[in-house]
Structure 1
């Protein structure tokens, strides 16, 4: 199979970690007889430096023309002083909306080899965690009407029935493939948009009779993630709530450098990226952990290319490397073998 992938390394450690993910992709290609080709595009702070704006038309067009997109990270203190419309993060919003990527999948997995990094007590975590947060990505307060008028500022949370239906269906479908349990998170006791959200979740429920669904207010969901995270399997929620809860879930695992994400549209075209930031203070120093980006490639193979065997091969290779005691600096503990970004990429590629 031949696939053309748009690479958007971005800022900070983005180029470092994307290079290792490509190394692993090429190893997959050799092992399973696939051909992956690549084209690199600017986005984020590096694009601001080059052309004065965070997202060029050529970047969006090139990503649209690809079979999938692999993103590193964008942003950094260098551009924090800029007006909101020119900040590097606008590239992410532009790519997501421009490509219609309405569904964000963020797994929060506590790897057994890294259980000591979890900030929660062992009796709370038990045998570990495997939570999938399904976040609506192109609606809500981030894309609603906004403005400032003298001493007032406003941002509007707005959703249509069709926007809610398509993300809720994704949640149900993913729950069917996991443990058939879905938690819908809203603020229906206060917000009209959440009341509509809850109505649609209930209306669609009979179409997925094998999925048990329950509802939580977002403040309670945030508390329950710390109190009893094992109660969750799939969490489906709107844009801002999903942004916050997925970050909380990732921190519970204690290994933000390990966690991937996928942003999908209805035909399963997607953009894949690690959940961590650009970490410009360690860029180019062969320190960054590439595993989250490598696992993002596994998600790409699974969700966009329907290559389940190949995706599992990457995940098993990562687990094998961790079992052998290799760690980058962010997950290193005594008695482990510390390696750099490039060596970790080499080890995973070799383990394939």
Structure 2
């Protein structure tokens, strides 16, 4: 039986992860689940944001379902040495799993255009997949330092790192509309010159059926909200991808609607992209939609069960129409929304 390691994490993570697990148990009763600690909760319990027992559990995982990591800006965790902070545990988790490609779908479901802050004619039909490189660039480079009044971080990429994430983007595009936009800042950054050169060379060598164009990150930041339908698959490096995908999250209407899949060498990592929202943690009002849709991505990309994934996504879309959560202008709390998803899937709710 497939084993799913769950890492609820911090803030609202345990609440939305529990909702996702409840849906997974109904649609895939053969799955087994094993819970472990990550982030601030792991530091509090074990003195390490990514403890050894969690590392060891990953060796036997078929997929990993993550909640959220981190606390409020004034959290005591933020005064810890950087390697002990919750976010360092998340970066170490991604590296341990070899998850070099982060897939973030930005989709406006038919009938849900009214949830978007964009005009309905702009939001209608938006279906973008952002493929973000996840293990390189400025977030991971060891050449970093604060020295008195001077600080620096280094952005560094190699051709193999660029090619492997570009291959993921081209593979995804082959199953979609066949269009890839590679995002860089090649007019001022040498690392972006390398990125653009290597993505283009790979396309010319192995993916000639894909239409590829290159755009600067500042231009994409404007166009992704003013003309989002121009994009199919976007591929970019770690920092740019982090910012652009959070910006694009406004299109469906809320960060609470944004799932993700991180894929690479081993078990995939599946998580909502929203934060830990400590201000509402424990109140039972968090929107679990992104966590539940991350569970759908787990089924599709982690276990090869597309039919079950499609069933969850259809049920979430119906629940969003009938029982929107508070962040979307509705009244549904976490449990009410989860029950609406289960009912939409045909599961009796007691």
- Whether these two folds match at TM > 0.5 is yes
- Could you tell me whether the CA contact under 8 Å between 1:270 and 1:300 is conserved in 2? yes
User: Is 1:328 paired with 2:328?
Assistant: no
User: Is 1:132 paired with 2:129?
Assistant: yes
- Could you tell me whether the CA contact under 8 Å between 1:260 and 1:292 is conserved in 2? yes
How much has 1:118 moved relative to structure 2?
1.8
Cross-structure match for 2:115: 117
Cross-structure match for 1:45: 40
> After the TM superposition, which of the residue ranges 143-152 and 93-102 deviates more from structure 2?
143-152
1:158-177 deviation per Cα after TM superposition (whole angstroms, max 9, x unaligned): 11111011000101000111
Give the whole-Å Cα distance in 2 for the aligned partners of 1:72 and 1:227. Answer: 31
- After superposition, where does 1:72-221 map in structure 2 within 5 Å? 72-77=67-72, 78=75, 79-125=77-123, 127-144=124-141, 145-206=143-204, 207-221=206-220
- After superposition, where does 1:294-309 map in structure 2 within 5 Å? 294-309=292-307
Return closer, same or farther for 1:245/1:139 CA change in 2, 3 Å cut-off.
same
How much has 1:286 moved relative to structure 2?
1.4
Give the whole-Å Cα distance in 2 for the aligned partners of 1:128 and 1:143. Answer: 35
- Could you tell me whether the CA contact under 8 Å between 1:55 and 1:94 is conserved in 2? yes
- Could you tell me whether the CA contact under 8 Å between 1:113 and 1:322 is conserved in 2? no
- After superposition, where does 1:228-239 map in structure 2 within 5 Å? 228-239=227-238
How much has 1:285 moved relative to structure 2?
1.4
How much has 1:287 moved relative to structure 2?
0.4
Q: What are the ranges of 5 or more consecutive residues in structure 1 without an aligned counterpart?
A: none
1:175-209 deviation per Cα after TM superposition (whole angstroms, max 9, x unaligned): 11111110000111111111111111111113212
Return closer, same or farther for 1:304/1:13 CA change in 2, 3 Å cut-off.
same
Cross-structure match for 1:26: 25
- After superposition, where does 1:327-346 map in structure 2 within 5 Å? 327-333=324-330, 338-346=331-339
Give the whole-Å Cα distance in 2 for the aligned partners of 1:89 and 1:99. Answer: 16
> After the TM superposition, which of the residue ranges 313-322 and 301-310 deviates more from structure 2?
313-322
Give the whole-Å Cα distance in 2 for the aligned partners of 1:17 and 1:232. Answer: 30
RMSD over aligned CA atoms reads 1.4
Give the whole-Å Cα distance in 1 for the aligned partners of 2:14 and 2:232. Answer: 33
Give the whole-Å Cα distance in 2 for the aligned partners of 1:122 and 1:19. Answer: 33
TM-score, length basis structure 1:
0.93
How much has 1:123 moved relative to structure 2?
3.7
Residue 246 of structure 1 aligns to a residue in which SS?
helix
Residue 260 of structure 1 aligns to a residue in which SS?
coil
Cross-structure match for 2:348: none
Cross-structure match for 1:263: 262
How much has 1:52 moved relative to structure 2?
1.9
Residue 80 of structure 1 aligns to a residue in which SS?
helix
Residue 327 of structure 1 aligns to a residue in which SS?
coil
User: Is 1:225 paired with 2:220?
Assistant: no
Residue 177 of structure 2 aligns to a residue in which SS?
coil
How much has 1:148 moved relative to structure 2?
2.1
1:22-47 deviation per Cα after TM superposition (whole angstroms, max 9, x unaligned): 110111124xxxx1111111111111
How much has 1:258 moved relative to structure 2?
1.1
Give the whole-Å Cα distance in 2 for the aligned partners of 1:195 and 1:265. Answer: 24
- Could you tell me whether the CA contact under 8 Å between 1:105 and 1:263 is conserved in 2? yes
User: Is 1:6 paired with 2:5?
Assistant: yes
User: For this pair of structures, how many residues does the alignment match?
Assistant: 340
How much has 1:55 moved relative to structure 2?
1.1
How much has 1:347 moved relative to structure 2?
2.2
Residue 270 of structure 2 aligns to a residue in which SS?
strand
- Could you tell me whether the CA contact under 8 Å between 2:10 and 2:70 is conserved in 1? yes
Cross-structure match for 2:62: 67
